[in-house]
Amino acid sequence: MLRRRMGYADPSSGKDILGNRSLCFIFICAFGLVTLLQQILYGKNYIKRYLENYDGSYEYNSTACRELRQEIMDVKVLSININRKIHGHGYPSSFHKPLCLSARVKTSELFERWRNLQVCRWAQSKEETSNFKMSLSRCCNAPSFLFTTKRNTPAGTKLRYEVDTSGILPITAEVFKMFPDDMPYSKSQYKKCAVIGNGGIIKNSKCGKEIDSADFIFRCNIPPINEKYSADVGSRTDLVTINPSIISERFQKLEKWRRPFYEVLQNYENSSVVLPAFYNTRNTDVSFRVKYMLDDFDSQRGVFFFHPQYLLNVQRFWAVQGVRAKRVSSGLMLVTAAMEMCEEVHLYGFWAFPMNPAGIFITHHYYDNVKPRPGFHAMPHEIFNFIHMHTRGILNVHTGPCT
């Protein structure tokens, strides 16, 4: 009688007030509730993916990966919260600035979709890559016009600047002899190329060995690649850009001491350097000084100058893709060139957000946290395009640690 009043079952009675059947029912209800919460939090395909036989990674063209890729391709517009003064008032207001022209998705949602895609082993789409390369060949033609050469810019040419279009530089005999006879690179010359951005996303990635294994390596704006960073970013370089503003700000336009700059370049061994000498008239003298300085030191390093018409065509090409800025970044210039020079392109260190895909805050560069000049580049637009290109199998964007 006492056991019945306290709610316990009598084993001999055949009843099961809180016995095995009740506990089983409670467990089933709890499992159903957890499953429902997972469905709400992680999307309609979560349960299917969870129950599939997962052995470490999926084939890129598997059913699961096609669904994950489509989820990213469905993002046509990325909304970014930025502060802006409204109609002349002195207070900021947060609003969403779209990257393209359709329905919006927050960066946090894009990050989640990008994280989900990481279970898929990337594979190149020959068709998508070929079509993209054909588009670049028609508009830009890096194998013929990436650099100014004696072939594409004969002596006596009146070379028009990229931005200062009213400015014209006569190609005198003195200028002409600084140009290579022809382009040093050809179409699809290299099998696998790595383009290294300077983003903080590459910090602690341990991607150095993987990067150094590429057939050709591009870097932007002479970043540090010494022992402190080489485990993450590698140590090899084949072509590195130099922004003339770096020469002006860090090396006093090479008007006085030139050896410090020469010693910085020694970190890049025999790599070639390329400068936008004909972006505007201010860049020309500084860029030419780099060539003169290396000649004075009897350097065998190649010094090239971007062809202004090539850069203008690249700007127009990416504007159609939604990258509208005063100027495309050095990284995007190199990625564009690499797509024509290489069979397969891998990107490291390209990210334009203050957090990595896992939501952890990162520094702007892997070596400092100095922010770029606002409004000059459109870095989020560029990364957004790279993510779409990765999803289509055109290039491989690496944002996680290397194994």
The predicted structure's pLDDT at residue 51: 31
Residues 313 and 366 reside in one and the same domain: yes
Residues 72 and 181 reside in one and the same domain: no
Q: Which residue has the tokens 């870095």?
A: 379
Residues 56 and 157 reside in one and the same domain: no
Q: Is residue 182 part of a domain?
A: yes
Residue 377 designated active-site: yes
The predicted structure's pLDDT at residue 257: 86
Q: What is the mean pLDDT of each run of 10 residues along the chain (403 residues)?
A: 43 51 67 58 43 58 93 74 35 35 62 93 97 97 98 97 88 98 95 98 98 98 97 98 94 91 94 96 95 94 98 94 87 98 98 91 95 75 94 97 89
Residues 187 and 95 reside in one and the same domain: no
To the nearest 10 degrees (0 to 180), the angle between helices 107-117 and 63-73 is: 160
Q: Is residue 133 part of a domain?
A: yes
Angle, alpha carbons 212-214-220 (nearest 5°): 70
The predicted structure's pLDDT at residue 24: 64
CB 170 within 8 A of CB 158: yes
CB 395 within 8 A of CB 389: yes
Q: What is the dihedral of CA 96, 99, 101, 102, to 10 degrees?
A: -60
Give the structural domain span for 83: 52-117
Q: Is residue 12 part of a domain?
A: no
Residues 108 and 131 reside in one and the same domain: no
How many domains does the structure of the chain reveal? 2
Q: Is residue 272 part of a domain?
A: yes
d(CA 91, CA 86): 7
Residues 260 and 376 reside in one and the same domain: yes
Residues 113 and 196 reside in one and the same domain: no
Which is the catalytic residue, given 307, 346, 365, 377? 377
3-state SS assignment for residue 142: helix
Residues 249 and 207 reside in one and the same domain: yes
Residues 344 and 253 reside in one and the same domain: yes
Q: Is residue 179 part of a domain?
A: yes
The predicted structure's pLDDT at residue 57: 78
Q: Tell me the two tokens of residue 217.
A: 């390596």
Residues 204 and 150 reside in one and the same domain: yes
